[in-house]
Amino acid sequence: MRVLVTGVTGQAGCYLARHVAAEGHEVHGLARPASMAAAEAMLGASGVRIHAGDVRDQGSLDAAVAASRPERVFHFAAGVSVAQSWEDPAGHADVNALGTARMLEAVRHHAPEARFFYASSSEALGRSASADAVFDERSPFRPATPYGASKAFGHHLVQAYRDRYGMYAVCGVMFNIESPVGVRASVVQHVAASMVRIAEGRQAPSMEIGNLDAQRDWGFAGDHVEAAALMLEAAEPEDYVIATGVVHTVRDLVEAAAAAAGIPLPALQVAEDRLRPGEVNRIAADPSRVRERLGWSARTDLDGLLRLIVSDPTFRARALSAG
């Protein structure tokens, strides 16, 4: 089976490409021209064929889809920073919202029988009606950030294409994913890198942090992309929430990271520049539908995730080089 993965240098795209390549499929990855070398270094050994393309350029998407002739398409390419989306809302809309429209058009015209997965986001759900609400597939969208709004647009557009054109197109609402190759600006990466530096004596036993009471459902990217793969093999196209179903505070995260690094809990200093404007305080998920219908559930808990990250040689080298 031929598979095309956009955003192949990101953590979700990278793990998905490796997962389907390991199953024996012919895998093609889409990377921006400036990221071609990085994509080859990350995935060349897995046999992934890299195509140059940019979701802001319709022609490059048309060419990549026509060349790869995919039977399955996983669309992960996106700007993923909530903070940066406030600084450049139009840019995030171009990549996340219009980029999804361009990708859908490329698939519709050049691979109309392909099955299409869109990586939606818990940020698209945004603010719940009550403080203790749990999001599932029936929850309304109330995005509170430009990033969330751009992902909500893509989500609704995928559903519209499914209804209008009969495409097998689905949305996986992915809650916070992390891995050793996660987005460097994320709180998980910041905390884990700080713990590595403290453990190696490269940083004083203290660290700056944002909202310690913020609650998130953090999961391992390698687990979550397996749910995405299962979604495209179901008899009927259906959208799912992809999450662990367990919520932790940032304080829990810090404690788990310290334990994973084998050090005492460092002193914590709340820094104004680490507080995010418009941040939703609590985002909780109910992934029971994907468990019951597709048989998927996350295997990696928060402690295991932090152990995986802080023990990874490449992550450690990156953390220490920044110290």
Active site residues: 121, 123, 147
Q: Is 201 exposed, middle or buried (0-12, 13-18, 19+ CB in 10 A)?
A: exposed
Q: Are 99 and 216 in contact (CB under 8 A)?
A: no
Q: Are 46 and 17 in contact (CB under 8 A)?
A: yes
Neighbours of 304 (CB within 10 A): 14
Which regions of the chain does DSSP assign to beta strands (E)?
2-6, 26-31, 49-52, 72-75, 115-121, 169-174, 177-178, 206-209, 215-216, 219-220, 240-242, 248-249, 267-270
Lookup: tokens for 30: 């889409």
Lookup: tokens for 3: 């598979």
Report the half-sphere exposure of 247 (CA within 13 A, side-chain side).
Answer: 16
119 φ, ψ (degrees, to nearest 5): -80, 90
What type of residue is 11? Q
DSSP-based three-state secondary structure for 168: coil
